[in-house]
Amino acid sequence: MVDATAEKGDQSLIDAVWAALAKVQDPELFKDLVTLKMVKEVRACNGAVSIDIDLTTPACPMRSKIEKDVSDAVLQIPGAASVAVKFGASVRPSNDQRNILPDVRNVIAVGAGKGGVGKSTVAVNIAVGLALAGAKVGLLDADVYGPSIPIMTGLSDAQPSVVEEKIIPFNWGSASQPIKVMSIGFIVQKEKALIWRGPMVHGVIRQFLEQVQWGELDYLIVDLPPGTGDVSLTLAQSIPLTGAVIIATPQEVALADARRAVRMFQQLGVWILGVVENMSYFVCEHGTRYDLFGSGGAQQMAQDMSLPFIGQLPLDMSVRINSDSGDPFANFSGKMQPQMTSMVETLAGQISIRNLTRPPGKAVKLDISA
Ligand code: ADP
């Protein structure tokens, strides 16, 4: 028999929990969890409360803080004896109409002012970190002038197959949460890729977006060529980008180019999600830190340009070895794990903020005269 008094008590406890959650703020988005529609379900049984919360990204950096704030708020309610929080994640989609990739929720461009600063390395590690956090991830190597993703993923000799006029990307990484990888390097030899010109570049990028079977993705990470050229232009014209991440070293020459890249993206109407400083410092085997390229320059640049700072990665031999051997997953279990995870979480947070605050998509007027 159903105990009507107990049921009534549970319902009033559930109501009290909803009211309490309406006062718990997301630490990054500065709105309460109910307004943000992050609370999916509240259950109560004899004082035991369980809550389902949807994070705005699987890699949410604020997960443990949200869990603590929720527990603290709920346990203050008379009659609430215990609280269990279960997290899920639904990645907010871009809300632009002119979308040729409707099943891809976020397209993230990774750019740099100049070559050799570690842009591809960071792009690959962002993809790996997001996949490890449980997201569905694709990685598009659009660096038509020097594709390095085939080597960094250990797929150098791979040949993509074509099924019903669609190119099938490679499933790479873990079997349970593979990353879908496509690179110009799978299709043409590196030496040939170097001579590509504007209209051809436009064609191949459109093909990568329209003809590759990306399927449903939370994040598509696009590794752009360095500088400010045709690929960025085609990408920004073709799909609604969630935003761009700019990679720079602390060196002044790299920063001057990085500033130019930021301005170009802004001119194209692309949101800048933030700046990553790579090769920030080197720690020798005796523990001494050397600021080989100066110190904190990219962080300063981000501050000067009012951009989020996503994180610092040191110059470390393990990063280079894991790239060359096609195993960047090892960066997330070795000594670089704290920096790598922090970078990915901070970026995921910025993507959530962007999606929450972005205005409805509107056509971008391009000035390509510069
Ligand atoms: P870009 O895409 O900007 O041209 P890459 O990502 O190809 O640069 O990196 C250039 C080289 O530097 C690669 O050999 C890569 O393994 C190495 N590298 C990049 N970042 C680091 C780092 N933080 N520590 C050690 N080596 C790095």
Please check whether residue 102 lies inside any domain of the structure.
no
Same domain, residue pair 316 and 200: yes
Residue 281 CA, ligand 1 centroid: distance in Å: 14
* Least confident stretch, 17-21, 325-329, 362-366: 362-366
The reported pLDDT for the residue numbered 369 is 35
Total structural domains within the chain: 2
337 shares its domain with 199: yes
Alpha-carbon separation of residue 41 from 15, 18, 22 (angstroms): 11, 9, 13
Output the pLDDT for position 191. Answer: 63
Question: In this structure, are 195 and 267 located in the same domain?
Answer: yes
pLDDT the model gives residue 69: 96
Nearest CA to ligand 1 atom 17: 320
pLDDT band for 42, please (50, 70, 90 cuts).
very high
Q: How far, in Å, is the centroid of ligand 1 from the Cα of 240?
A: 28
Q: Is the CB of 142 under 6 A from ligand 1?
A: no
Q: How confident is the model at residue 96 (pLDDT cuts 50, 70, 90)?
A: low
Is 117's pLDDT higher than 80? yes
Same-domain pairing of 70 and 174 = no
CA dihedral sign, ordered 51, 52, 54, 55: positive
pLDDT over 80 (residue 366): no
* pTM score, whole prediction: 0.86
In this structure, are 83 and 153 located in the same domain? no
Tell me what pLDDT residue 294 has: 79
pLDDT for 362:
41
202 lies in the same domain as 81: no
At residue 8 the predicted structure's pLDDT band, cuts being 50, 70 and 90, is: low
Burial (Cβ within 10 Å: 0-12, 13-18, ≥19) of residue 246: buried
Does some domain include residue 313? yes
Residues facing residue 84 across a β-bridge: 50
Model pLDDT, residue 37: 87
Q: Which atom of ligand 1 is nearest to the CA of 114?
A: 3
Atom 8 (ligand 1) nearest CA: 118
Taking CA atoms only, the protein residue closest to ligand 1 atom 22 is 315
Residue nearest to atom 4 of ligand 1 (CA): 116
- Of 90, 122, 139, the position where a domain reaches its end is 90
Taking the centre of ligand 1 as the mean of its atom positions, its distance from the CA of residue 3, in whole angstroms, is 65
Domain that holds residue 64: 7-90
Q: How far is CA 114 from the centre of its chain?
A: 21
**Ligand 1 test: best mutation among 117, 121, 317, most atoms within 8 Å of CB?**
121
- Do residue 111 and residue 81 come from a single domain? no
Write down the pLDDT at residue 137: 97
Give me the mean pLDDT over the 275-283 stretch.
93
Q: What CATH number is attached to the domain comprising 165? A: 3.40.50.300
Read off the CATH number of the domain in which 50 is found.
Answer: 3.30.300.130
313 lines ligand 1 (CB under 6 A): yes
Give me the mean pLDDT over the 315-332 stretch: 96
pLDDT band at 361 (very low <50, low <70, confident <90, very high): very low
In 3D space, the residue among 280, 274, 226, 224 whose CA is nearest the CA of residue 249 turns out to be: 280
pLDDT for 9 equals 65
Question: Which ligand 1 atom lies nearest to the CA of residue 146?
Answer: 4
pLDDT of residue 38 exceeding 80, the answer is yes
Q: Are 40 and 88 in contact (CB under 8 A)?
A: yes
